[in-house]
Amino acid sequence: MTVVDIARKDVADAVRSRALWVATAIFLGFILLAQGIVLAVVENPDPELAARFLEGPATEVVLPILGLLVGYQAIVGERETGNMKFLLGLPHSRLDVLLGKFVGRTAVLSVAVLGGFLAAIGMIAATIGLPPLAPIAAYVLFVVLSVAAIVSIAVGISAVAETRTRAISVAIGGYLLATVLWSYVVDGLYYAVTRSLPGTDPPTWLAIVDHLNPLTAMSTSADVFLPEASQIAITATEEGVSATQTEQTPSGTAETLVHEPLFLVAVLVFWIALPLAVGYLRFRDADLS
Amino acid sequence: MSAIRTNDLTKQYGSQTVVSKIDIEVESGEVYGFLGPNGAGKSTTIAMLLSYVHPTDGTAQVLGRDVREGSAEIKHRIGVLPEQYQLYDRLTGRKHLRFAIDSMGAGDDPDALADRVGLAATAVRRPVGEYSTGMKQRLRIALALVNEPDLLVLDEPSSGLDPAGIQLLKEIVLEERDRGAAVFFSSHVLEQVEEVSDRIGILVDGELRMSGDLKELKSGIGAAVELEVEIDAVSQELLTAVESLEAVTGCTAIDSDYGGPSLSISLSSGTAKAEVLRTVEAHSTVEDFTAEEQSLESLFEEGVAEANR
């Protein structure tokens, strides 16, 4: 199994180069920081509320960056150093190398993510009690699927790019598009079609367009699986800022297609398959000189 | 079945032709020395044989299979040392060998391979990042020997090696040949190829200028000849007639300060001398002539000089 050979070697490299530990430390740091703030700021938080905050900057902002960093050099880096000629001089096909790198790097980042979640759950359990584990497990599964999608995009970029510099530029561009610019893209499309801006309750088709972004799909999986967050009332007084939970649930969360787990799975699987396919077709025909 | 057989193999990058219509055939149990100055297209040719680079025209077969298909499977039976590739600095020499052996599905002993290329047992357990240039090259050679390949493709294998290492490399090449393997190796240094090759090919500017049995080439049989013929007058008919001869690869008229004009004629084979002289006689009067057989060295040096211009 040559894909497995490549993947195993890739994981071993990540362990040796400490990339695995750095990725784990960064993700762990952010997820624990977010939890720490929730536990410290909210008065008498319950475990369900804390569980809701497993989704946060660690998954929304840090995870995509880690995924792109872990993956963007996968192919182009080995091309630039000439290591690729060593791998392809052995009985590995270009497809084996591409898939092996994808599997290896997805495994590395998944370990980092699982480590982070386990630590955060442990922190909640130790301070305020055991959070609901089944919904969290379902959510974590979606995060791992998203990890695979992000790594696939990064590895796909690295298979198409001719140089590392070009790969990192495209990766940064993609990150900005998916995080900062995406809402403008979606709103712009809505405006182009309807000549008006979407209101508070956008139509289903627009929500579907919005969810073509794998990061939106990941974030919606949190809405679907994690316990509904009660409202948090933040009050600023002379003594400082304090936050309390109220029993009110937020309004305007209509269940549509985009809240179907199967739909979310389809989006993420699409983002796993497409970059690998495009990357392979380009890499297959590339001259390695 | 030939170990390597190419037919009009060509590689163009845009409008630039890097390798032009080369035909090479290498049989099992022989060493083929692939000579040429740096930048002649040797590495590109090798890259096409190993399907790192896709040919723009022509075909290449390695161990009877077209390089365009099934390249991964073929590599079970080939040992390769591509042009100056980087090793993994954090991995030990032994881990490299282990990975290659596992990838090949081979049963080799990594320590025995290391020993064969003169890497000490302590050295092979150190990360490659701590290796000297020569040690790295020895490891690359060991990696090419994994799984007793039917064909060894070595691109500039002597680069970075000290004299002792070069001697060891020659011994290994001959051992592998005697085992029945074909060895295809490139170099820009004639002496390194001369000592071990059964046949050689000289590549200049992407064209195979000369190829054949090394002993025959050295003894001058079938070797190229440079003919200088002093005549009374040069005419267009004369030039056309000479150039139309099959053995003639080049013909230029030279005006000389003393005596009459002369022709400088390049022949691909010395046996055609008389025929050429008769043709010149038919259109002019021959005053004098000299014939100089081109040695391997002079041909190679000419090629190098040409490439450096």
Q: Which band of pLDDT confidence, cut at 50, 70 and 90, is reported for residue A197? A: confident
Does A191 reach chain B within 8 Å, measured CB to CB? Answer: no
Residue given tokens 């309390």 in the structure block: A244
DSSP helix/strand/coil, B32: strand
- The residue that leads in pLDDT, A7 or B245, is A7
* In chain B, domain spans: 4-219, 225-293
This complex has an ipTM of 0.80
Arithmetic mean of pLDDT, A121-144? 93
pLDDT in tens, B169-181: 999 999 999 999 9
Torsion sign (Cα): B20, B25, B28, B33: negative
Neighbours of B232 (CB within 10 A): 11
Per-residue confidence (pLDDT) for residue B56, from 0 to 100: 95
Token pair in block for residue A114: 């699982």
The percentage of chain A sitting over the pLDDT mark of 70, rounded to a whole number, equals 90
The answer to whether the CB atoms of A85 and B50 lie below 8 A apart is yes
pLDDT of amino acid B257: 66
Q: Report the pLDDT value the prediction gives residue A203, as an integer from 0 to 100.
A: 86
Q: Does A36 touch chain B (CB under 8 A)?
A: no
Task: Give the one of A2, A5, A81 whose C-beta lies nearest to B86's C-beta.
Answer: A81
User: B82 burial class (0-12, 13-18, 19+ CB within 10 angstroms)?
Assistant: buried
Contact B82 A90 (CB under 8 A): no
Q: Which of B43, B44, B80 comes nearest A89 by C-beta?
A: B80
Which residues in chain A touch residue B82, judged by CB atoms under 8 angstroms apart?
A: 82, 85-86, 89
Helix (H) / strand (E) element for B66: namely strand B65-66
Residue A108 phi, psi dihedral angles, 5° rounding? -60, -50
Q: Which of B172, B163, B212 minimizes the C-alpha distance to B26?
A: B212
Least confident of A77-91, B58-72, B211-225: B211-225
Domains B4-219 and B225-293 agree in fold = no
pLDDT digits (tens, 9 = 90+) for B95-112: 999 999 999 999 999 999
CB–CB contact B47 A96 (8 Å) = no
Report the percent of chain B where pLDDT is more than 90: 54
Average model confidence (pLDDT) across chain B: 88
Tell me the three state secondary structure of residue B207. strand
Q: The domain B4-219 belongs to what CATH superfamily?
A: P-loop containing nucleotide triphosphate hydrolases (3.40.50.300)
**Using CB atoms and an 8 Å cut-off, which of residues 108-167 of chain B contact chain A?**
143
pTM of the full structure: 0.83
Task: Give CA separation, A235 vs A33, A42, A53, in Å.
Answer: 22, 11, 19
Record: fold of B225-293 = Alpha-Beta Plaits (3.30.70)
- Judged by a CB distance cut-off of 8 A, whether residue A166 touches chain B is no
Is A32's pLDDT higher than 70?
yes
Does B73 sit within 8 Å of A89, measured CB to CB? no
| B100 Cβ under 8 Å from any chain A Cβ | yes
Residue A251: what pLDDT?
46
pLDDT in tens, A69-79: 999 999 999 99
Residue A201: is it exposed, middle or buried by C-beta count within 10 angstroms (0-12/13-18/19+)?
exposed
Residues of B in contact with A86 (CB under 8 A): 82, 85, 87, 143
> How confident is the model over B200-219, as a mean pLDDT?
82
